[in-house]
Each structure stands twice: as structure tokens, then as C-alpha cells.
Structure 1
Amino acid sequence: MNITEYLSEEIRPLRLKDDVKKAQKVFKSYPITHFPVIENNMLLGNFAEEDIQTIENKEDELVMYNHLLNSFFADEKATVLELLKIFADNDSNIIPILNDKKEYIGYLDLRDVLDVFSSSPFMIEEGETLIVEKLQNDFSMSEITQIVESNGGKLLGLYISEKTGEFVQITVKVISDEINEIMQTFRRYDYKIVSMHENDIYLEDLKNRSDYLQKYLEM
């Protein structure tokens, strides 16, 4: 993703000499959670909408409330995943962007970044999504890749989607006509298949055995 293609300057950044009334008007006019404050093109921080709207004296200059500034931003070379983490960590729907001189050059809207992510091959390519689980110290990305590719699958992407105690869950998206073979190989390597799959031969076999046992016990 080339961030500069999605930079917005629709709203002019605030300055500490601006009054509270101006800041409140910005937040009422646009559906934003935060907005940057700059001085001489340098980012000072971001005011949160919920903080600004609670200030009663609208004539006060923002400098009186600089203790409310939140410090977060992204570099113009940040990746989509880095941006999504900053959005999530700060519960914000915009991120101010700085160039290599640490100068403010605009902001990114969460909707634009989500649009880019949703149009990536990982999201739009038809494939099967597996969630596998294993002890954190026992799994490796290279092993997962080898399992998929040794069964003729094409790996679209994978990431650690959850960590619980000593276990991690890895979400894997693959293109394969032999998804059952891939799942069986994961099991042979002591991975647990967390996601449910309609045509999982292993689970179907367990179900058949369970049904047979139930019928036997009812005789």
C-alpha cells in the first residue's frame, strides 16, 4: 500500500491557539474520533472527540487543554497491518501521517485502509480458511507452509490469530482441491483443527463411529 495515495487533507489540522468552539465544530461536522494538532508542520498530538465535547468554556484556547493530547501517528511507509494495529490500539478512525522529516503531511481514514485490506488477494481470492492450534513452542510458519505445499496447496497467507496460555491459533488461507489431505497432515503433525469444515473426513469418521457405538449400546 502506498499511503500517499490515500492521504486526506479535507480537514485542516487544529492549532493550540484555536479555541474550543472551533474544535467542537470540527467534531460535529465530521464523523471522526480524534483530530491532530500541529505547530510549524510538526505534530503535537491528537485531541479525542469525547474530551473536546465535554469542555464547557468554548472561548478557551486549546493550549489550556494540551494535557488531553493523545500521542499516536504513523510513518508514510507504514504497512496496512501496522496501520490497523494503530487504529485498534488507539480506538481511532483516523491516523495522522508523518514524513521522514517527522512533518505532518495529512491523515488516513480507517475506511480507506479497510478498503485496501479487503481488496488484497488474501481477502478476495477464493480459498479455504483453516484455523489450526498448537503449543506456541512447537509450531513454525515454515512447517505450516511445508504442510500446505507438500499436499499441492497454494498458500495465500497466514497469521497468528489468537494466543491462549501456551497455545496459539494460526489462521491459514489456502487454495487446494485436497483440503482433507492438508487437514489430515496437520493432525499428523499434532495440530488441532479448530475451524469447522463441512467435508472433513476425519470428523465424519468420528461421527460414524459415535453413531455405531450409540446403536451398539442401545441393543
Structure 2
Amino acid sequence: MQAYEFINNLIPPLKLKDKVKLALNWMEEIRTDILPVVEDSRFLGFITEDLVFTINNPETSIAEISLDNVSCFVYQDKHIYDVIKVASEFHSNMIAVVDRENNYLGVVTMEDAISAFADSLSIQSNGAVLVLSMNMTDYSLFEIARIIESENTKILSSFLSSDPLDDSKIKLTLKLDKTELRHVKATLERFGYRILDHFQEEEGISGEQERIDNLFRFLQI
């Protein structure tokens, strides 16, 4: 799950000598609104469709433009989690990948990163999502798993974050292998766990949009 594994080789880098009209042509051809700019194997930043339209001169060279997100990159051995984190920090749909000598290797698109992230969290597996709230001192995944498994249910993956309703608590999001949560919820509540929300997924649903929707539900974005 390292960044270099998800490099999209269909995204070409622009050079400083290239003109804006070439950027527009490539954007239209590969259906994107952002492209990387590279010179001598060094990542220099991104040029966006909005930036191009602001310049409003197709003959302008890339060298004359102040590029966006010059620090929007990750090292090749970083996990796909880091790719999504950097993309979120820079509000970018594309992240450059470089080696430890800062040589440009390619880019990862957010679509590819989300697909990889969804796979790593078992989002594609049939089941349901359960969201719990608790104090950090009460958090024990071993104990929670023991309770859930007592109802013949398995935890496929988990995600820990702050509780948006209470800063003093944490939120634990669990992907379970069963779609029916009634007994699991009742057992967890009997042990004192507070359930914030749950999502029971329908079986047999497929497609990229459903995959992304499931991921967002899992992360509570």
C-alpha cells in the first residue's frame, strides 16, 4: 500500500518551456483540471485549469506562471493514508510522488487513492458500519471485539477519530461482517457503550460511486 504502487502513468508532466495551450489540450484529452510540472526530474508544482483561465493567454509559457501546491507531494515509500492526508491538506485532487532524492516519479489521483483506501478498509465487503463514542481510557479494541464476536459477528476493520459531539471522547467506527446489527447493538449498549450511528448496507450493490460513498460513510466525512 505504498504511494509508488498507485502512480497513474496516464498523467503526463508538463515542462517549463511548454505553453498554456498544451496544458489545456492535455487536460481536455485526459479529462482532468490539474497537471504536474516537472523540470530536470524535479517536481515544481501543479498547474490548474482555473490558473490557466486566469492567465487567459494560450501562448504564455509555464515558466511565467506561479504554480500551485509546490509542496503537494509524498515520498514513494509512504502509505496510501499519507497520500490522502496530503491531498486533504492541500485540497488537491492529485499528489506528486518523489523518491528520497526528490526525483519525480509520477502522480497519484484522489480517485485511485480512495479506491486503494477503500480496499484496505474492507469497504467492498458486505456488512454494516457501526459508530461508537467513548472515553479514551475506556477504549479497548480487544474487549469490544470480544463483545461483538459473542454475537457471532466479526470486525473487518476499524477507524479511530475524535467525537464531533464531545471533544473529551473518541469515536470508533467499525466495519462488521453482518448487515443485521440489532443484537450487536443491544449487547454493546448492555456493556455501557454509546452508539452514535449505524449504516446497514444492502448486498449486491456495486460500482465506483457506491464504493466511494461507502468509504465516506465509514470515515463519517
TM class, shorter-chain normalised? Answer: 0.7 to 0.9
Match of 1:206 in 2: none
Q: Which has the higher contact order (CA 8 A, sep 6+)?
A: 2
Matches within 5 A, 1:124-143: 124-136=124-136, 138-143=138-143
Deviates more, 1:150-159 or 1:32-41: 150-159
Answer yes or no: is 1:169 the counterpart of 2:171.
yes
| Unmatched runs of 5 consecutive residues or more in structure 2 | 201-221
Answer yes or no: is 1:22 the counterpart of 2:22.
yes
Match of 1:193 in 2: 195
Matches within 5 A, 1:19-168: 19-66=19-66, 68-120=68-120, 122-136=122-136, 138-149=138-149, 152-160=152-160, 163-164=163-164, 165-168=167-170
SS of 2:78's equivalent? coil
Question: Quick one: distance in 1 between partners of 2:143 and 2:39?
Answer: 50
SS of 1:114's equivalent? helix
Question: Quick one: distance in 2 between partners of 1:68 and 1:197?
Answer: 38
Question: Quick one: distance in 1 between partners of 2:4 and 2:105?
Answer: 9
Contact kept, 8 Å, 1:128 with 1:176, in 2: the verdict is: yes
Question: Quick one: distance in 2 between partners of 1:27 and 1:161?
Answer: 36
Change (3 A) 1:112 1:176: closer
Question: Quick one: distance in 1 between partners of 2:73 and 2:190?
Answer: 45
Question: Quick one: distance in 2 between partners of 1:32 and 1:87?
Answer: 16
SS of 1:50's equivalent? helix
- Structure 1 residue 157: Cα displacement: 0.9
- Structure 1 residue 135: Cα displacement: 3.4
SS of 1:88's equivalent? helix
Match of 1:203 in 2: none
State the AA in 1 paired with 2:72: F
Number of equivalences: 198
SS of 2:15's equivalent? coil
SS of 2:57's equivalent? coil
RMSD: 3.1
Output one character per residue of 1:15-58: Cα deviation in whole Å (capped at 9) or x when no partner. 22322222233333332232211121011122222112211233
- Structure 1 residue 179: Cα displacement: 5.0
Contact kept, 8 Å, 1:33 with 1:92, in 2: the verdict is: no
Report which of the two structures shows the higher radius of gyration computed on alpha carbons. 1
Question: Quick one: distance in 2 between partners of 1:12 and 1:112?
Answer: 16
- Structure 1 residue 158: Cα displacement: 0.8
Question: Quick one: distance in 2 between partners of 1:53 and 1:119?
Answer: 37
Match of 1:183 in 2: 185
SS of 1:122's equivalent? coil
Question: Quick one: distance in 2 between partners of 1:133 and 1:189?
Answer: 13
**TM-score by structure 2 length?**
0.72
Contact kept, 8 Å, 1:20 with 1:57, in 2: the verdict is: yes
SS of 1:22's equivalent? helix
State the AA in 2 paired with 1:60: T
